[in-house]
Amino acid sequence: MRFPYPTGPSAVPVFLAPMAGVSESPFRRLCRAWGADVVVTEFLSAEGIRRENEATLNKLRFTPDEHPIGVQIFGAEPDAMREAAAAVTDVFQPDYIDINFGCPVKKVVKRNGGSGCLRDLDLVQSVIRAVISGTHLPVTCKIRSGWSEEMRDPVKIALKCQEAGVRAIALHPRTRTQMYTGHARWEEIAMVKEAVEIPVIGNGDIKTAEDALRMHRETGCDAVMIARGSFGQPWIFKQARALLDGLPMPATPAVEERFAIALDHARMVQAYEADPIGAAIEFRKHLGWYVKGLPNSADLRKKLHAVNDFAEVEGIFAEYLASPWMREAEAA
């Protein structure tokens, strides 16, 4: 079955996963420019949306070049989820609404949100039906394989979600209690794909473009969703799309181009955020990811993690490009 929202020309679309503090508008735009077929917002509180919390609404902003885009919401109160879906639909007009049943973070699950809902599949269905009643847009969901090993049953969860009316499912095949430890059980993606009639998006442990191709081949998933594998390497989407389309994989950018991409990303953040110092400090994590694996990267990260102004970044990069470490990086 085809996706109920646009996904671009790729036969196997590649998604940027929703990630708190990472999947912000500048990064989404960058990943779209580097080949992501679909992007999703950070997960956003339904209560924050319906109460018009300023910080929450700011995270809902997106630009025309981000389409196709989904807005992901979370919560365990059906009425709040319905109202949030209606508000997002009317005011922001994304391509679809996604429900977060996967977040394992304690502050979310303690209120039964995210993967906390997986302890009660009747609640899961109530939330889905409430969201569907609040929007004319397609509704999808992102799930884990269960709350715990004892409650691990991704097929049952997926079937319940399909029965309630979602139009696609993304599965991260770990339980909530696993958090991000161990290995994602890709065989469970294959099991869900076999069991349901709606599109299935595979997620988990995709660190390289080759991983994306391998997941599709091993599971038959309809799309691949990349999360932490995109950190510091947005070009992974272009590479994954090429492999999935049976084309040669584009080369990984050399150090100088990698730094240029990081600076483009920094400029996008600078233009987007109102607080330049706060934005620069928050951007430090991205800088650390961009230089991961380079010769003398520990010292480079130390300098980058101390910046308070985006102007400092260009100087630090220029210093590295002129250093002996650059010759070692080029030879690697």
Q: Annotated binding residues for FMN, as ranges?
A: 18-20, 72, 142, 172, 227-228
Distance CA 264, CA 234 (A): 12
Active site residue 103: yes
* Residue tagged active-site, from 103, 117, 161, 221: 103
Annotated binding site: 18-20, 72, 142, 172, 227-228
> Nearest Cα to 6, choosing from 137, 105, 195?
137
Q: Could you tell me if 91 and 137 are in contact, meaning their C-beta atoms sit under 8 angstroms apart?
A: no
- φ, ψ for residue 40 (rounded to 5)? -135, 145
Q: Could you tell me if 114 and 108 are in contact, meaning their C-beta atoms sit under 8 angstroms apart?
A: yes
Residue position matching structure tokens 């389409």:
67
Token pair for 216: 């599709």
Phi-psi region of 271 (alpha: psi -120 to 50; beta: other; left: phi over 0): alpha
Does an H or E element contain 299, and which?
Answer: helix 297-304
Distances (CA, A) of 288 to 5, 211, 284, 301: 34, 23, 6, 5
Residues with a catalytic annotation lie at 103
